Structure 1
Amino acid sequence: MDEAAENPLWSRLDFVRDGHIVPFDMEMVFGSPSGQLAFLEVVAETLSPK
């Protein structure tokens, strides 16, 4: 995300300007099945109404 933040095109995207970015640890996406489940839990928690 640090490299993307330095890119002027990135900052012009509507979803970036409006703060609709949910950063997460990319290591959860690659690797073991337990990593995949952890990623899905993060997504579910982020999207669930509070």
Structure 2
Amino acid sequence: MAAPKIKKKSASAKTPSMPRQGAIPCLVLVVIALAIVAFFFFASLKNTG
């Protein structure tokens, strides 16, 4: 019973630091996704026009 408790404590201790480290990559992925969407959007406008 002690092992699961230790794992849970270590997981809860790591979770606060994970969002801080993962915040920048998430923002980068969002920007890239928006850029891809905008690219296809303008590409479709050029094709229709």
Q: TM-score, normalised by structure 2?
A: 0.35
The answer to which structure has the higher helix fraction is: 2
The one of the two structures with greater contact order (alpha-carbon pairs below 8 A, sep at least 6) is 1
Which structure has the bigger radius of gyration?
2
